[in-house]
Amino acid sequence: MQIDILSLFPEMFTGPMTSSIIGKAQERGIAKIELTDFRQFAHNKHGHVDDYPYGGGAGMLLQVQPIDEALQLINDRHPDTQKRVVLMDPAGESFNQAKAEELAQAEHLVFICGHYEGYDERIRNYVTDEISLGDYVLTGGELGAMVVIDATVRLLAETVGNEASITGDSFSTGLLEYPQYTRPREYKGMAVPEVLFSGDHGKIATWKAKEALRRTYERRPDLLDDYPLTDQDKQWLAEFAQSEEDESEEN
């Protein structure tokens, strides 16, 4: 996968994009990340790429011309790739695992990281996707782009050593991930559930399914609104609700 990032602060990406799994993905040729400082396309001696909004208003807006010329440079470098141009914007759709899986199918991703108060609206004419990390505002799009790239690149084939760990991720199945344990078997009175030592793969799979549902019910019940519940799931949910009611009465 080819990834291009347009940013006024390309140095911010040096550590996160060259370390750990993302760094290894680049070393192995699974992903290639290129950075472009679009300030180089400013048409003024001061290197300004922003200006005051027409009609008044607070703050400065990112100009369309530097972004247009930076995108043209990328098109010249990679004329034959199908590109998805991602604008990091608080007004975009909220990023989630399904979006990461969608982006992981792309051949070429281009990220526009804004700064200042906002964008000249005409920049959106060059964009295929507008993404937000959530209902809050950052100082720029760089951190958001790093999150989206990390979540996307780790889904590419052979990026993560054990690909089964990806398919079982929280949100990939529609539920949060079930609790997991490793050595020691008991620590300060906290014991690993016995079923995990039973050797009965059927029982272990059932326990994992039930605990994933329990964790989702307790922490993110909103995820269950669109989740296709089985009859067994509904029975477990009834058990969880009854258990909560019993605990409430005891207290």
* 138 annotated as ligand-binding: yes
Which residue in 33, 34, 32, 25 sits closest to 157, CA to CA? Answer: 25
Q: What percent of the chain has pLDDT over 90?
A: 87
Are 124 and 14 found together in one domain?
A: yes
Q: Is 245 a catalytic residue?
A: no
pLDDT digits (tens, 9 = 90+) for 13-31: 999 999 999 999 999 999 9
Are 145 and 200 found together in one domain?
A: no
**Has this prediction a pTM greater than 0.95?**
no
Assess whether pLDDT exceeds 60 at residue 162.
no
Query: Is residue 164 domain-resident?
Result: no
3-state secondary structure of 22: helix
Query: Is residue 166 domain-resident?
Result: no
pLDDT digits (tens, 9 = 90+) for 91-116: 999 999 999 999 999 999 999 999 87
Query: Is residue 172 domain-resident?
Result: no
Are 101 and 147 found together in one domain?
A: yes
Instruction: Report yes or no: 147 and 88 within 8 Å, Cβ to Cβ.
Output: no
pLDDT digits (tens, 9 = 90+) for 55-76: 998 889 999 999 999 999 999 9
How confident is the model at residue 171, as a pLDDT? Answer: 75
What letter does residue 49 receive in the DSSP assignment?
A: -
Q: Which of 102, 169, 177, 233 is catalytic?
A: 169
Are 30 and 86 found together in one domain?
A: yes
Domain assignment of residue 236, given as a range: 186-250
* 195 annotated as ligand-binding: no
* 137 annotated as ligand-binding: yes
Q: What is the DSSP string of 115-182?
A: -SSEE-GGGGGG-SEEEESSSS--SSSHHHHHHHHHHHHTTSTTTSS-THHHHTSTTTSSSPPPP---
* 86 annotated as ligand-binding: no
Assess whether pLDDT exceeds 60 at residue 164.
no
- Tokens representing residue 208 in the block: 């994992």
Give Cα 134 to chain centroid, integer Å: 11
CB atoms within 10 A of CB 198: 12
**Interacting residues of 105 by C-beta distance below 8 A, sequence separation 6+:** none
Which carries the bigger pLDDT value, residue 166 or residue 57? Answer: 57
Say which CATH number the domain at 32 has: 3.40.1280.10
Q: Is 215 a catalytic residue?
A: no
Are 24 and 148 found together in one domain?
A: yes
Positive or negative CA dihedral for 34, 81, 171, 224? positive
Q: Is 220 a catalytic residue?
A: no
Query: Is residue 213 domain-resident?
Result: yes
Assess whether pLDDT exceeds 80 at residue 170.
no
Are 123 and 197 found together in one domain?
A: no
Assess whether pLDDT exceeds 60 at residue 40.
yes
Q: Which of 16, 68, 84, 90 is catalytic?
A: 90
Are 67 and 113 found together in one domain?
A: yes
Are 142 and 211 found together in one domain?
A: no
Query: Is residue 179 domain-resident?
Result: no
Q: Is 117 a catalytic residue?
A: yes
* 135 annotated as ligand-binding: yes
* 59 annotated as ligand-binding: no
Are 73 and 144 found together in one domain?
A: yes
For 74-88, 90-104, 157-171, 175-189, which range has the lowest pLDDT when averaged over its residues?
157-171
Are 141 and 23 found together in one domain?
A: yes
Are 32 and 148 found together in one domain?
A: yes
Query: Is residue 165 domain-resident?
Result: no
Query: Is residue 142 domain-resident?
Result: yes
How confident is the model at residue 134, as a pLDDT? Answer: 94
Q: Which of 37, 117, 130, 150 is catalytic?
A: 117
Say which CATH number the domain at 200 has: 1.10.1270.20
> Considering its fold, how many domains does the chain have in total?
2
How confident is the model at residue 167, as a pLDDT? Answer: 58
**Interacting residues of 174 by C-beta distance below 8 A, sequence separation 6+:** 223, 226, 227, 228
Which residue in 39, 83, 95 sits closest to 62, CA to CA? Answer: 39
* 116 annotated as ligand-binding: no
Query: Is residue 197 domain-resident?
Result: yes
Angle at CA 47, nearest 5°, toward 140 and 38?
50
Are 27 and 140 found together in one domain?
A: yes
